[in-house]
Structure 1
Amino acid sequence: MSVHDQAAAAVLSQLLLAADGAVLGIGLAYVSIRSILKFTASTSALRKIDNAPSVQPSDLRSLLSNRDNNSDICNSESKNQSNGDGGKLIIVRGCVEAKLAVERQAMILGGNTSNVLVSQESGEKGVILQRTQTCIYNEWRGFFGLTADLRSMFARSWKDQETSTIRTVPFVLVEAGRRPQSGYVIVNMEGSRHPLPMTTVYHHLQPISASPYTFLQALFGHEYPVGLLDEEKMLPIGKDITAVGICSLRNGSPEIKSCKDLPYFLSDLTKDQIMADLAFKTKVLLWSGVVFGSLAIGILGYAIVRNWNRWKEWRQRRQAQQQNNSATNDVPPQIASDEETGEVPDGELCVICLMRRRRSAFIPCGHLVCCQRCALSVEREISPKCPVCRQTIRNSVRIYDS
C-alpha cells in the first residue's frame, strides 16, 4: 500500500470513528436497513416463484385460454400474480429459436435461417449478440508521476475504457425435441434489465505496439494503453433456458415479458435451482441485516452513552466554574484586605494561589495550607478534597493567630 493509500485509509478511519463511532454506527444501520429491505423483496419474489406454475411452451395456449374462460375462478389469483394487462406469472422451460424461423417453418424445411445473428469470429448463430471492447491501461507511475494517484481516482471515470454494443432479434422458446407447431412462447425483451444467460463465443487479447509518444507517457507517469480485449457473448440458438415472467395472449400467440419485482427473467437454472439460489440469498440477507443491525445498535448505544456522559461532565464543570466565580465575588472585602496586606513569607503562602497567607484548615484532615478564599472555592467543588493528602473534606475553619 502506497503512502497516499495509507493516508486515505487513516482519514477514512478517523471519519468513521468520529463522535465515538457514531458515523460508523449510522453507516452500519444504513447497510442493515438495505439488507432488510432486500430480504423483504427476496422473500416476496421467492413466494411468487414458488406459487407460479411451471409449464412447457405447448401447454401455455390451453392454460391461458382456460384462465380467460374461468376468469371468476382465477380472480383472486390474478390479483397476486398478474400485471395491468391481465397476464399471469408463469415459469417456462424451453429451447431458444428465432421467431422468423418458427413462423416460416425453417426448422422443418432445414434451409431458411434468416433473421438470426452470426458471430463474425466464431461463426455461431444466436438471437442476442453482445460485442465488448476493453482497453487495458498500464498502472506504472513513472519517474515524475507525482499526481498519478489523483489521476487514478478521477481520470478513469472521465475516460471511456470500455465500449459495448448489443443486438437482438425476435426469438421464441420452443419445446425441446418437438416440432415448432407443438407450441412456442414469444419472449418480449422490452423493458427488461435482468441479467441474460449469455455464452462467451470469442475472447482475444491483442497487445498494442509501443510508440515514442508511449515512451513519453511512461516517463512522466501517464497511463498508456498496453492491450485491447475483444469479447463476444451470445445467446445461441438451441440453448435450454428458463423464462420467469408475465405471460399473456397477444394476437392469439402466448407472449412472456419480464416482471420488475423478480430478480430473474431468462436463466440457465431450472425452477428448483432458482428457488434454492433465491432461498440462499434470502438467508444471507436476513443474517446480514441482523448482524449489521446488532453492531449498529451496539455502536450507536455506546456513542450515545459516551457523549451523554461527556455532556454531563461538561455541564458539571461549567456549574462548578460558575459557583467558583460567584464564590470569589462573594468573598467579604475585609477578608481580602486582611489577607493582602503585608509581606507573606514563602512558607506561609497558600499552596493554591501562592499569593495570600494560609488561614483556613480543612476538616477532618486538619491541613492548614490554603487561604480563606481558596478554601471556600475547594469546599464548593463537586467532590472537595484536600490539595495535600487528597482526603475528602467536609468543611474548613478559619485559624486566627493569638
Structure 2
Amino acid sequence: MLNIAVIGTGAIAPAHINGYLNFPERCNIVALCDTFPEKAQKLKEQFQLSADVVDTHKALLEREDIDLVSVCTPPYTHAEIAIDFLEAGKHVLVEKPMASSLEECDAMNQAAYKNQRILSIVAQNRFTTPMMKLKKVLDTKLMGPIVHTQVDSYWWRGHSYYDLWWRGTWEKEGGGCTLNHAVHHIDLFQWMNGMPAEITAITSNTSHDNAEVEDLSIAIGKYENGSLAQITSSVVHHGEEQQLIFQGKNARVSAPWKLKASSSKENGFPENDKSLETEIQKIYEQLPTLKYERHAGQIDDVLTAIEENKGVLIDGEQGRKTLELITAIYQSASLGKTVTLPLEEDSPFYTREGILKNATYFYEKTASIENFASNEITTGGNYE
C-alpha cells in the first residue's frame, strides 16, 4: 500500500484525488496541503478522506509514511516543492506545466536522478483511448512521412478567469494559453511527431486586458526534412473544438478520428485509396480501449512504476521537451526571430529571470482575488 500526499487543493486537485480513489487496494491519501488550509479541509470532507491537513509542504518532508506526492500548485512553485520531496526520498507526480523555466526542469530532473526517485509530469491526454490509438497508428508508418501537422488547441476563458491571484502574470503563471492550456496538445504533438528543428511564432492578447500574458498564439514548426507544423494556442475560441491532424504522403489521420487516403491519377489529381484506408481503419479498430483514462490512467502508470521498479510513460525528460517547445514559441514571439532547437543554457529564456526580463507584457494585471466561489472547471479533450 502506497501512501499519498496531495500538495495544493485548487481546481485540479479533485482530478488527482478521484484518480487515486480508483485504486483503494494500492494507495491511500494520508495528507492534504494548501496555503489556504480551509480549502484542503473542504476537499477532505468532500471526499471523506482520513488525511491530515497542513498549510506548508515542508511539514510533510520528514514523514516516513509518505511514498508519492501529487504537486497541484501554481507553476512557479513546482520546482521547489518537487525538488524538496525528491531530496526527501519521495516519488513525485507534478501537474503541467512542469516548471517555470528549463533551468528549473533541469534541476528537477537532476534531483530525480540523484535520489533515484520517479518524477512524472501530468499529461493526462496521453492516457485517452483516442490518443493512444492514434499514436500506435502513426507508429505503423502506413501514412508515409508526415508532411504537415495541424495542432488546434482551442479553449475559451472569460475575462474574470485572469482575476485569480496567480493567473495572468509572467511571475506567477509563467505564461498564458500556450503554456497553461495548449501544453496538453503540444505534449501530444511532440510525443507523436518528435521535436521540430526550428520555431517561428507570434503571440497576442485580444480579449483579456487584465493579464500580462497572451490569450492567442500561432507557431510554425519546421523539421529538417521540410515537414511543417502549425500550432494554434487559444483561450478565445468559442466551442473549444480541439484537434490534431497528421498529413502523411499516403494518408491523413487525426484526433478526433478521421481517416483519408489518396492515390494519384495519371494527371496528378486525387482518387481514394480504399485499400490503404481499410488497412489503417482495421488497425485502429483492433486496438484496445484503455481501462483507466486521463488522471486515473497516469496515476495507474505511476503506481505501477513504483510497485514494479520500472519507468513511467511521462518522465521529467518528456516534460522538459514539452516546456522546451513552449519556451521556443515565447522566445520567437517576444524577440521576433526564428528559434533553433534544442534550446541550451545560452538561451535568453532558459532561466525564469530571463523570461521575466525578455517576455512580451501585454497588459497590467488589474485584479487579484484569492479564490472563486466555484471550483468547477472544464478540461477539454473530447476526441471521440
Q: Please tell me the TM-score bracket, short chain as reference.
A: under 0.3
TM-score, with structure 1 as normaliser: 0.18
- TM-score w.r.t. structure 2 length? 0.19
Q: Which has the higher helix share?
A: 1
For the pair shown, which has the larger CA radius of gyration, 1 or 2? Answer: 1
